[in-house]
Structure 1
């Protein structure tokens, strides 16, 4: 049965005529008449007795109106309740976020979001790979400098930059002599190109430790074992306190954290609330804001 035709039938039955129903709904009278006729043809029943000036329900039409009118009203109320989620988001929200951001900020962000929106069941998983949002059932994905994907839309909500830091006890780099370095994972080159107050410099390095997370790298550098290339938001408190010294800003593209989602049309209330939550946490999206949010 065509639900749209059934809805039009109930509209006409409720208002007692095609003309009144058309004026109430802002729909063409001819369209309503055609849809009702199509429904009568599909059911092989006459639903209205049409007089010169009157329109009355047949016995079958009255029974159909009584039994389906309430059901359609419930459907409308259900759709309105779901749509009204913009004022009161609810339901399950799955988010994928990169390892470092999850370690330093996501726990606090998730807790604040849960307090603000108690009817949303937030699930956050940590993954640095490019997950398939649709196949794996994610509503929002947070990624660092993601590649262009025509199936997704998104926006930058945070920016960061890389700096080379070391313990003051390590001393400043001298000439072309490699400095001891803590690096993340295999590879990573043999020198950092940095911006310094009087221009640019090249700092050769030799890995003495290879660790799998930026947090581990930072802790090792704090311990004085070597220098490292790290996001400034992760070490700005250490630099301000004198625990680490900054040798320079690393040349290259900035670090941009993006929120990605399948479509900006008909965005669910849950996703909109989460995006707004990130915007409120980082209104300017600067490294200083992230450092302040992380704390010490």
Structure 2
């Protein structure tokens, strides 16, 4: 990959390059990698990642929803009276073959473009992880410097734990968002499939071939409902989001010295913060274990 030229604007690709990464790790005292500079690079990557994710969602919408509409139109062109009149020439050529051709071409094109967007998104996510590691090293250096001044190693570790809190919050929120997306997709299948199944079943009175579509849609609805009930994605999302919000409140409270941290000195405040966050994480693990247990076991308990 191309290296950054002197005086040019920093590019995200330089952090993906292994040689550049080794140079940063070996010489992280370089003023170029000041903590504020790293924070600026992280903000730049997050902004680019936001637009990449947006285009990735658009590509997935095209790949699944758009091509599904084309497939439905092609199928209807074979079995509806409207399609019988849709001859584009006197030779009797029908519209369905063209719709199938467009469907297959659109599926291939959407798959290729979506995969490219996925690779670019992963590159930015990888760069963001490396920047987070550099930021963590800078915070550790600041904590060690403060420990050398204060002469209290435990306090330096507690400060470092406080500095790692945003990463912990981000992990729980990513987990919550992932489970929420799965839950919402399953609900779309259940609700949309239920309506579609009733419609197709009604249409099967006049067109017997649609009975198989009704069977397929009904099976999809049943599977989606079963997955949603067994894996409890909604409950998992709510639990992870609740933990993330609680840790964020504690993080802001210890910074502002409000709530339980009011009037405490620095050592007692950070010690209480670490204890509270560990308690919240332990409660989250216990809720996760309860969700992993089958329903019959929980009833016996």
Q: TM-score, normalised by structure 2?
A: 0.21
Larger Rg: 1
Structure 1 or 2: more helix by fraction: 2
Structure 1 or 2: more strand by fraction: 1
Q: TM-score, normalised by structure 1?
A: 0.21
